[in-house]
Amino acid sequence: MARRDRTRHLIELGGLVHKAGLVDLADDDRATLYGAMLELAAKAREDRDRLMLWKRRGKRAFDAEGAGQDSQTDQ
């Protein structure tokens, strides 16, 4: 992946962390956010079905956002 593409990709991922409300929830504490993501990764490794659940939930949120609805309704 080219440097510019990688940078854009990382910015988009950071935007998702913000969009999900995690930045405010963790009071913008990077250690808290990183710890939470490490726990999510461990849970996903233990239970692969969890990834499918998260994928469906994310798709519904993106679809709701595109339709102008509240993207936080499926939590």
Is residue 30 a contact partner of residue 16, using CB atoms and an 8 Å limit?
no
The tens digit of pLDDT for each residue in 32-68 reads: 999 999 999 999 999 999 999 999 999 999 999 989 8
| Cβ(62)–Cβ(71) below 8 Å | yes
Say what the pLDDT of residue 1 is. 78
Residues making up the chain, counted from first to last:
75
**The whole model's pTM is what?**
0.74
Output the six-digit token pair for 67: 């339709």
Question: Domain ranges in the chain?
Answer: 3-66
Structure tokens at 48: 């692969």
pLDDT at 51: 92
